[in-house]
Amino acid sequence: MTQAEASTSRFALSDTAFELAPLRAALLSAQAGAYASFEGWVRDHHAGRAVLGLRYESYAELALSEGEKVLAEALERFAVVDARCVHRVGDLAIGELAVWVGVSAAHRDAAFAACRYIIDETKARVPIWKHERYADGAADWLHPELPAAG
């Protein structure tokens, strides 16, 4: 993700670790009294199995357009000032940041609701897949029957 891409789109994919401070700063606004954010971190366990690390793969073209759609829907449904989402792709270690959502709004109801909407819809619709490596030597693509609870 380059700075230019970040400034022209609300949803981005990043194949390297990214800084949160500039993403948050881009949402600062004198009209906004509330800011809600969500981060997904790589956990050391999943469904009872010890996880060593994971890889995210995306269908980038469709992920970017579907992600933008999710953000546009959030801006339309909730009284927010602005919102952004960045999702990592590639190899991630335990504890690494996998996804970040930030929303600014006049009031906290809208900030929380939009933030929740964006992470829920991103997990449910945006073509990104998680490949987990387990401590027992196995590795698997996650293709949940229903959107993941994490």
Binding site for its own copies (CB under 8 A): 20-21, 24, 28-45, 94-95, 104, 106-109, 111-112, 115-116, 119, 149-150
Q: Which of residues 75-114 bind other proteins (CB under 8 A)?
A: 87, 98-99
Q: What angle do CA 62, 65, 67 make, to 5 degrees?
A: 100
Residue whose structure tokens are 């993700």: 1
Which residue lies nearer to other proteins by CB, 3 or 145? Answer: 145
* Distance of closest approach, residue 84 Cβ to its own copies, in angstroms: 14
Which residues, 6 or more positions from 63, have their beta carbon under 8 angstroms from its beta carbon?
A: 13, 87, 126, 127, 128
Contact residues: other proteins, CB under 8 A: 40, 56-59, 61-63, 65-66, 87, 98-99, 119, 122-131, 141-145, 148, 150
